[in-house]
Amino acid sequence: MVACSSFRSVFEYETNKVVRIYSVWYSSVKWAIHFLVFLYVSVNTCEVSAWCPVESAKTAPAPAILDSAENFTVLIKNNIHFPKFDYTKKNIPPEFNISCTYHKHRAPLCPIFRLGDILEEAGEKFSEMAIQGGVMGLQIRWDCDLDTSASRCVPKYSFRRIDNKDPAHSISPGFNFRFAKYYRTATGVQYRTFVKAYGIRFDIMVFGTAGKFDIIPTIISIGSGFALFGMATIFCDIIVLYIMKKRYLYREKKYKRVNEYELLRPQCDDPSQTDPAHLTQPR
């Protein structure tokens, strides 16, 4: 009996017993307590522990605070290295004039750029872009022919706006970032100064290609060209001899049929060629 009862207990499980009480007084007390707890939490407590007050929803000030930064200049130092040719070049020439300022036509190699000129080359206005900020791309391209003089391997600068300034197609147009400065008072209370800064970010992108004469690739290219000429002849023959309407006529003109027996027949018909005396006559 003990073994049988233990075997049956394997298939048994316990459940909690629920007793429902129908009482107007008890239910009223229950919902009153729930309401008081909800009222206390929503009025006197926070769901998230954070700094107060929260970030302001004010828009960026217009005009921009640093509107005069349009006349600021920046010096860009760049060098490029081509490991295959072991060649390195800098964008600052030896005869660099520190008083120059980049201009597309007058000084295209000067590495000192005025911020307002960069935006103007990209078709933007500094006074407008400085309000919401933005991202500008400054591209430096090197195209060097190493068979010529090194003075001809020079950079070419170009500018364009990278971010999307259209609010209808961008969640956060422009460019901004946030930072905070923390400090404590004499009484030990911690404070912070939270700053949301709008600005213009400049991304510098460098591209470069270099080439030098090599006899081996030249020979391979010439051989490939001759091979392509041969393939062109074969392709034209296929079209003329097998696809065009007058292919049979072209085929007769192109090919000459030769029968070996017809070439030997005149020799066999000539009696002099079959005379044994003629065959044994010394030369």
Q: What is the pLDDT of residues 155-187, one digit of tens each?
A: 999 999 998 877 777 777 889 889 999 999 888
Instruction: Give me the pLDDT at residue 219, please.
Output: 87
Place 235 in a pLDDT band, splitting at 50, 70 and 90. Answer: confident
- Every domain range in the chain assigned CATH 2.60.490.10: 67-211
Cβ atoms of 206 and 185 closer than 8 Å = no
Does the domain spanning 67-211 belong to CATH 2.60.490.10? Answer: yes
- This model's pTM is above 0.75: no
Instruction: Give me the pLDDT at residue 35, please.
Output: 80
Helix, strand, coil in percent for the chain, rounding step 5: 40, 25, 40
In this structure, what DSSP letter does residue 38 have? Answer: H
Instruction: Give me the pLDDT at residue 2, please.
Output: 47
